[in-house]
Structure 1
Amino acid sequence: GIQFVAIDQKLPLSDQGPFDVILHKLTGKEWQRRLEVEYRDTHPEVTVLDPPGAIEHLLNRQSMLQEVSKLDLADCHGKVGVPKQLFVNTDPLSIPAAVMRAGLSLPLVAKPLVAKSHELSLAYDSASLTKLEPPLVLQEFVNHGGVLFKVYIVGDAIRVVRRFSLPNVDEGDLSNNAGVFRFPRVSCAAATAEDADLDPHVAELPPRPLLEILARELRRRLGLRLFNIDMIREHGTRDRFYVIDMNYFPGM
């Protein structure tokens, strides 16, 4: 009973439809004006998923995790935080000094500033930091048993799946490796860990009450209803979690 109709961006929205829901993944001031000023004022009955300005917040890795870092979930069936990170938009040769001033520990995960790119790099030593290409976000690598949890949020509904991720790094790895190691998209659907023979302590999903509180708070703070969270559990703990990335309108 659901009919999907493609929107023609060359035509006024009011000349198309009628729509019950507008589902989109677009940003930009012109689209925002057309959607929220020209159309929404005359069609308040139409649900828009989601506001372009709110979507844009998740497209920049410098800002996407700010709301998570403000949350106080210490007593909610677990602890949720954000790895220490640093925004870098400078000469690559100055990155090691900036990392030292910020107090970040190696290894560091380097992520493109624009979240549309899923390519990651892992820098093991200070010398390798100079080979990175700003603008980017450097994030402390947290050992997590090689598994991350993708938490899909659609309104009040939550679904969690396991995906293989980067393996743990130990002192030997830091001593024996140098340079920058580049990875394609780490947590794609092909890397599912749902049927893998995993250590139960690694495979155990985050507590449901914790996820419900986290999802509710982020929906409220971000003004979004269709997004996903990439979470990891710090290896060796049961209740210490980190949000390392977020995506709007994610694929499975």
Structure 2
Amino acid sequence: MRLSGAISSEDEEEKEKQANSHICPSSLNVDYKVVVGYALTSKKKKSFLQPKLEGLARNKGILFVAIDLSKPLADQGPFNVVLHKISGKEWFEIIEDYQRKHPEVAVVDPPDAIEHLLDRQSMLQDVADLNMHGCYGTVGVPKQLVIREDSQSIPCEVAEAGLSLPLVAKPLVVDGSPKSHELFLAYDRYSLVELGPPLVLQEFVNHGGVLFKVYIIGDSIKVVRRFSLPNISRRELSKVTGVFPFPRVSSAASSAEDADLDPGVAELPPRPLLEKLAKELRHRLGLQLFNIDLIREQANRDMYFVIDINYFPGYGKLPGYEHMFTDFLLSVSKSEGRTGTMGSKFQLYMQY
């Protein structure tokens, strides 16, 4: 099967680059341990496949080879690992078919597992079902409500659900588009009629203006701080009305690593809690590459909330990510197990 109109290169130059980079490993006079076929969007390729990653990979015997989307995947390779982040039903069918016919190849990650994170309701259900008590803290999800249609009914539905203001409004579907990352803060429920369903409404939790991004790469995790929305007082809530957009907090520009923060706010979540959370979610989600947006409740320092989970996030922003990723590729290529079964001990990379 070939991939047709659903996916296309941004321009002819990108097509040429992909064609030129598709090199048959057997034609190279280099003994590579692992050949990684990758299918990434131009944006993801630029941010992730940086020279420092490719250089370290070569030193470890890892070769990255671009998958030509205009040709049948079965005619390419051979690969030890297939790494992909391409959206669309047609691509998912291709990669699932390839996975069935080539069980010896590690596909990172299975399309059916990725699809689980494309809906903000289903992505957090696995967190809600976790038993994370007694592990240096408790992890849950904010109280939330899904609105699939009829924005005029939102005020009544919010009242019936007993949600407390303010509310964070997020698109229900996560498809990688800029729109799917548009976030709004609603100070009163009547203003929510201005937003278009389908969407998710989450209770806002005061968390000191700092968010912890927990990056998972196989059995390794790395935690960084990001600035987030400041606490909202009852006085402010009583005076402000309306719905306001707020920027994404995942960009490197919003890093809080070097900020002069209150120690109580800046302190990273306990290691045992992070290890257990990452391990449990990796198993439940069936994914190797994702990150967790985690906040600590200001009023209860032992209470943490997962507010989002993202597949194959911007690892290129993390110092030292190339070491974690190349180790992961070597591990996954040698494992006979598949997603969620490789290794039980986590390496924790803390970013201070």
TM-score, structure 2 normalization: 0.69
Superposed CA RMSD: 1.3
Matched, 1:46 2:105: yes
Long gaps (5+) in structure 2:
1-57, 318-352
Cα displacement (A) at 1:10: 2.4
Q: Which structure has the larger Rg over C-alpha atoms?
A: 2
- For 2:161, give the aligned amino acid: A
Deviation at 1:230, TM superposition (A): 0.1
Match of 1:14 among 65, 69, 74: 74
Contact 1:144–1:235 (CA under 8 A) maintained in structure 2: yes
Q: Contact conserved, 1:144 with 1:168, CA < 8 A, in 2? A: yes
> 1:68 and 2:127 equivalent?
yes
1:34 and 2:94 matched: yes
Aligned residue number for residue 234 of structure 1: 297
1:106-131 superposed Cα distances (whole Å, 9 cap, x missing partner) = 00000011223222100001221121
Aligned to 1:91, which of 146, 150, 153? Answer: 150
* Match of residue 151 from structure 1: 214
1:96 partner letter: P
User: Does 2:201 align with 1:135?
Assistant: no
Letter in 2 for 1:250: P
Identical-pair percentage = 69
Distance 1:124 1:234 in 2: 19
> Does the CA contact (< 8 Å) of 1:144 and 1:234 recur in 2?
yes
Task: Tell me how far 1:21 sits from its aligned partner.
Answer: 1.0
More helix by share: 2
Deviations 1:197-218 (A, max 9, x none): 0011111101111111111111
1:143 positional shift? 0.2
Question: Which shows bigger deviation, 14-23 or 102-111?
Answer: 14-23
Contact 1:27 1:53 in 2 (8 A): no
1:156 is displaced (CA, Å) by 0.6
Establish whether residue 198 from structure 1 lines up as the match of residue 261 from structure 2. Answer: yes
CA distance in 2, matches of 1:100, 1:143: 21
- Work out the CA distance in 2 between the residues paired with 1:99 and 1:24: 39
SS in 1 for 2:85: coil
Taking the aligned partners of 1:34 and 1:43, their CA distance within structure 2 comes to 12
* Aligned counterparts of 2:201 and 2:100: Cα–Cα separation in 1: 41
Is contact 1:25–1:55 with CA below 8 Å preserved after alignment?
no
Structure 1: unaligned runs, 5 residues or longer: none
SS at match of 1:243: strand
Aligned residues: 251
CA shift, 1:27, in A, is 4.4
Q: Contact 1:28/1:52 (CA < 8 Å) preserved in 2? A: no
- Structure 1 distance, partners of 2:133, 2:193, is 37
Distance in 1 separating the partners of 2:201 and 2:63: 43
Query: What residue identity is the alignment partner of 2:136?
Result: H
**In 2, distance between residues paired with 1:247 and 1:77?**
24
Query: What is the CA–CA distance in structure 2 between the aligned matches of 1:62 and 1:43, rounded to whole Å?
Result: 32
SS of equivalent residue, structure 1 residue 181: strand
CA distance in 1 between counterparts of 2:168 and 2:140 reads: 16
| Cα deviations by residue, 1:15-42 (Å, 9 ceiling, x for unpaired) | 11221111111344432332222x2233
Report the Cα distance in structure 1 between the residues aligned to 2:102 and 2:304, rounded to whole angstroms. Answer: 41
Q: Distance in 1 between matches of 2:219 and 2:295?
A: 22
Q: Secondary structure at the match of 2:152?
A: helix
Q: Distance in 2 between matches of 1:43 and 1:130?
A: 49
User: Structure with the greater relative contact order (CA < 8 A, sep ≥ 6): 1 or 2?
Assistant: 1
Contact in 2 for aligned 1:165/1:187 (Cα 8 Å): no
**SS of alignment partner, residue 34 of structure 1:** helix
111, 114, 117: which is aligned to 1:55? 114
Give the structure 1 partner of residue 311 of structure 2.
Answer: 248
Q: In the alignment, what sits opposite 2:47?
A: none
Counterpart amino acid of 2:294?
M
- Corresponding residue for residue 163 of structure 2: 104
Is contact 1:27-1:55 (8 Å) kept?
A: no
Instruction: Report how far residue 76 of structure 1 moved.
Output: 1.2
